[in-house]
Structure 1
Amino acid sequence: MPTLYVTAPPDAAPDLARALVDERLAACVNRVPCRSTYRWDGEVHADESEEVLFVKTSDARVAAAEERVAELHPYDTPCIERFEPEAVAEPFAAWIEDSTRPD
């Protein structure tokens, strides 16, 4: 079961999470507040508020979830990273598969 790691501004994170779950591209999205420091357009931006979104999805839906995040995300270059866990508890994996199955 892949998990996407996405960062987003706090005002955009709830809508991103909701859209992914509503559209069955994710079974669950955990949102965690964070502070980020990064370089953009040659300048260092320090102590920026963001939220980390952990997007739980299925192998069959991960590409569509990545595409949808890119479409909805307000950043020009959103952080979208894929984690491929080697082991997932079977009941949790079955729940993700069921929750991301298109209607």
Structure 2
Amino acid sequence: MQENKPDCLYQRYPKDIMSSTVPRSGFVVFFLILVLTCAMYPVLKTLCVYIHSAVTGSYVAGYHSVLLVNCPTEQTARDIGRSIMEKRLAACLNIFPRTTTMYYWKGEIRDTSEILLLLRTKTSLVQRVVAYIKAVHPYDIPEIISFPIDDGSQHYLKWMEDAVTDI
């Protein structure tokens, strides 16, 4: 026997209308936009920083870097420095004469003198500079340390921008 159930307990619309793809496709579009935004966040952030810098004339922190490189002799520092400058991988460099260095090497404390090479370049070129120095440096493990430049003279930083090619 079939019971008499009120009509309000039955679906008022056919099942195919209730399972419409419109809400589902809206969710898919929203989800895709969310995923793309998350994936593109670094690019979008960088773009916004550059636009802000262009509009306000402010410096983008970290766009340039300073590298410290110790060399065994002044001639080595000059040779490495000159080739970096010829390749336009740095805007400028300084060669500091004779610094005293203490370090651990093969279980011993070593005490020696070295020449400090200080380079200024674009941060985007740091890995190329590091790779080049590693290839030509006489040390097994050359000291190459990079620091981003947070701020400085706008005229000097602009000059650095123009002096270094970004190949």
TM-score by length of 2: 0.57
Please identify which structure carries the higher strand content. Answer: 1
Measured in 2, the distance between the counterparts of 1:57 and 1:19 equals 14
Q: Distance in 2 between matches of 1:102 and 1:85?
A: 17
Residues of 2 paired with 1:18 and 1:12: CA distance? 10
Where has structure 1 moved over 4 Å in runs of 4 or more? Answer: none
Q: CA deviation at 1:86?
A: 1.0
Contact 2:123 2:148 in 1 (8 A): no
Does structure 1 retain, via aligned residues, the 8 Å contact 2:93–2:117?
yes
Please provide the CA RMSD for this pair: 1.4
Gaps in structure 1 of 5+ consecutive residues: none
Count of residue pairs brought into register by the alignment: 102
Write the distance in 2 (CA, Å) between the matches of 1:68 and 1:12.
Answer: 14
In structure 2, the partner of 1:23 is 87
Identify the structure with bigger relative contact order (alpha carbons < 8 Å, sequence gap 6+).
1
Give yes or no for the alignment of 1:3 onto 2:92. no
1:12 maps to which of 58, 76, 88: 76
With normalisation by structure 1, the TM-score equals: 0.90
1:87 matched residue in structure 2: 151
Deviations 1:38-67 (A, max 9, x none): 111112111x12111111101232221111
Corresponding residue of 1:38: 103
The amino acid of 1:26's aligned partner reads: A
Which protein is richer in helix relative to its size?
A: 2
Given candidates 49, 61, 64, the residue that maps to 2:128 is 64
SS of corresponding position for 1:77: coil
Which segment drifts farther, 81-90 or 93-102? 93-102
Point out the structure with max Rg over C-alpha: 2
Q: Match of 1:51, as an amino acid?
A: I
List alignment gaps of at least 5 residues for structure 2.
1-63
